[in-house]
Structure 1
Amino acid sequence: MNRPLIRTLLVDDEMLARLAIRQALAAHDDVAIVGECANAGEARQAIEALEPDLLFLDIRMPGMDGFKLLHGMKRGNLPMVVFATAYGQHALRAFDANAIDYVLKPIDQERFDQAMARVRRHWHGLQVTSAVSSTTAPAPAASPYLQRLSVQQGEHIRVVAANDIDWIRADGNYVHIHAGTATYLHRESLRHLLGVLDPGRFLRIHRGIAVNVERIREVHPLFQGSAEVVLQDGTRLSLSRRFRAQARRALGMA
């Protein structure tokens, strides 16, 4: 049974600081980064739209600091919070704000891992409490896969529903997400993204291409075991020989 991922949002006005947290989180395979925000206004919208479990939050940001962001939100809607900041003098105030932990920049991996251990203990406690407190018929299990993801679009964050994605193309440590007439550049490897998207919906058809199976209209066999996938909008994508058997099973092909 798949364990639930800790859906995490990064909030920091410095891109390099967000990158440092991403790198520190790479050692924790039970975490899925669902978005990044450069200010508190974007973070408020992303929290409401994405409902993350964990927030890595900077304190000093332009416009509104991290404390004011938390103060302005309903307590019941808040995710777990770890403050990540260069200013150690705010530690007591951070814990008064019910933060799980407080880590200083530059990020020290050992100290960061200790913070994640605290997050994990709290997370597991929330899961147990939720299970024990349920006295009615069990509700359908929440999907362990991402239902939405946030992508940077200029100075703004765009929330894209997973169901709206047509296909994805790898580009090094980035991916190009095609959704309708829009294409978004997202800082995530295809391998990691496919690890958090529903494998029943997203099918890898090439080393660098994955497609939403609901968008596939036709499959055209070609030479030497390769094939071509045609989407509902007419987009043609290569189905490599390596992934053909997997595609046949997913698409019910004889």
Structure 2
Amino acid sequence: MLLAEDPGVTVVGEAGSGDEAVALLARTHPQLCFLDVQMPGGSGFEVLARAEAPLPMVVFCTAYDQYALEAFRVHAFDYLLKPYEDSRFRETLARAKEQLSREEAARLGEQLRAKAVEAGLVSAPSSRIVVRDRGRIIFLEAEEIDWIESADYYVELHVGARTYLHRESMAALENRLDSARFVRIHRTAIVNRRVLRELRRTGSGGLVAVLATGAELPVARSQQARIRQLR
């Protein structure tokens, strides 16, 4: 078994049916799951729809290529078409482990910064953002921003009916925002908790954040548990 060959991986279980898979996910809460599309007792997509959040990172391994689009609609990390080479599997596993490590590092960094601010070791986040818009310089108070969207090396600041393009990376801006007011729900979106109105499960087992502005934004698998705990 290729997974067992990797010393950095702990296999917590195997399931032979959809029901077993749902139960196993609930019992072990894995970080990564390799899932077939067709299995006894339900498809892999049905397993994800029935599983409780937060869902693990999912890699589909199947002999059916027609489900690839649906797999990525449910935010699958990868789609391995059988028969695949061992090297292809190992490459996917390596990328998955790297992504999981980055997510864990980001969570730890956020916790450390919050403690440092609380202890007075670093300054509190800035509340003003300077935006250049068509020859004008606009001073935005952070609290005015409804949500922020990543756009390559820029971010789009959604303020009511207006959208401002601001030259700053998502990570840099996030570090300047008050984590008590703003929450990262996806690698491409930060939301002001003031406008967060509803969390809605999708038929594919994902989670969508509904804002007071009417915008509906996907919540990343890695953020689902944290978002559900917001008050």
Give the TM-score normalised by the residue count of structure 2. 0.46
Ranked by relative contact order (alpha carbons within 8 Å, sequence separation 6 or more), the top structure is 2
Give the TM-score normalised by the residue count of structure 1. 0.42
